[in-house]
């Protein structure tokens, strides 16, 4: 069984799902698209380091093993078609929707749920929508929210050791065979906003045409390698 998305290919092999990270980078629900050498291997390794760190802190992830250069061996999950965004600072679609200034601190971690549906531009939903649409129960949504906040605070602290600020981050979850909610997908500069003294170290470099995104992604990889070995 094979599933191919915009940036990954998933193959079920025996008891595992092998997730291959492609060199593709997209924005605007796939409208902007490029292929950048080594992007897949960089995002795969960053994901592996951060998911290892999260599991050390008691947060269950799908990661079993990093198979260099660009494959993660994972526990197969039945994915919820959801993006769970946690925001610590205002940016991106928050500012577009509600106003305010990029980088302004939020009083507490804000959690937003979006349905993965490019054609409808990933509509934002509340727990009632999730239950009515049969996507998840309210109890499952509560659990995803709780895990997302916990993971974000762990990662915020991780990056703070390198003087980097985590502004926001997106998670995806699935159910394992035994019915547990597990953090899946990836955690990389594609899926978080990371800043240091106003400098951008995430996909906003690409979204806003601010130069070569891979220079920044490589720096994030080096940072993750050095912080995880401390």
Q: With binding defined as CB under 6 A, does residue 192 bind ligand TMP? A: yes
The SS3 call for residue 61 is strand
Distances (CA, A) of 168 to 20, 66, 87, 111, 140: 25, 25, 4, 10, 22
Figure out which of the listed residues 62, 195, 203, 216 binds ligand ASP, where binding follows CB under 6 A: 203
Distance CA 8, CA 66 (A): 15
CA 221/CA 74 separation, integer angstroms? 20
Under rule CB under 6 A, residue 117 binds ligand ASP: no
Q: Which helix (H) or strand (E) holds 139?
A: helix 138-160
Does residue 100 belong to the site contacting ligand ASP (CB under 6 A)? no
* 109, interface contact from ligand ASP, ligand TMP, none, CB < 5-8 Å by kind: none
Which residue number has the CB closest to ligand ASP? 26
Interacting positions 20-79 with ligand ASP (CB under 6 A): 26-30
In whole angstroms, the minimum distance from the beta carbon of 129 to ligand TMP comes to: 17
Is residue 164 involved in binding ligand TMP (CB under 6 A)? no
Q: How far apart are CA 200 and CA 125, in angstroms?
A: 29
Residues in the chain: 230
Distances (CA, A) of 99 to 73, 96, 192: 41, 6, 20
Q: Does 170 bind ligand TMP (CB under 6 A)?
A: yes
- Judged by beta carbon distances under 5 to 8 A according to partner kind, the member of ligand TMP, ligand ASP, none in contact with residue 94 is ligand TMP
Residue showing the smallest CB distance to ligand TMP in the complex = 92
Binding-site ranges for ligand ASP (CB under 6 A): 6, 26-30, 203, 207
Binding-site ranges for ligand TMP (CB under 6 A): 83, 85, 91-94, 122, 168-170, 190-193
């Amino acid at each position: 069984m094979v599933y191919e998305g915009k940036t990954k290919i998933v193959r079920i092999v025996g008891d595992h799902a092998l997730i291959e990270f492609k060199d593709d980078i997209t924005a605007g629900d796939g409208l902007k698209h490029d292929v950048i050498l080594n992007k897949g291997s960089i995002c795969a390794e960053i994901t592996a380091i951060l998911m290892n760190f999260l599991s050390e802190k008691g947060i269950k992830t799908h990661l079993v093993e990093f198979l260099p250069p660009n494959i993660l061996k994972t526990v197969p999950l039945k994915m919820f078609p959801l993006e769970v965004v946690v925001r610590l600072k205002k940016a991106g679609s928050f500012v577009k929707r509600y106003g305010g200034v990029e980088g302004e601190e939020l009083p507490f971690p804000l959690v937003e749920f979006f349905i993965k549906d490019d054609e409808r531009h990933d509509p934002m939903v509340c727990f009632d929508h999730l239950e009515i649409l049969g996507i998840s129960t309210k109890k499952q949504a509560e659990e995803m929210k709780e895990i997302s906040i916990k993971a974000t605070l762990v990662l915020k602290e991780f990056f703070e050791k390198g003087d980097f600020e985590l502004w926001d981050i997106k998670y995806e979850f699935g159910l394992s065979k035994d019915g547990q909610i597990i953090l899946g997908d990836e955690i990389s500069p594609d899926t978080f906003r990371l800043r240091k003294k106003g400098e951008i170290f995430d996909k906003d470099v690409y979204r806003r045409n601010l130069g070569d995104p891979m220079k920044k992604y490589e720096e994030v990889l080096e940072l993750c390698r050095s912080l995880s070995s401390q």
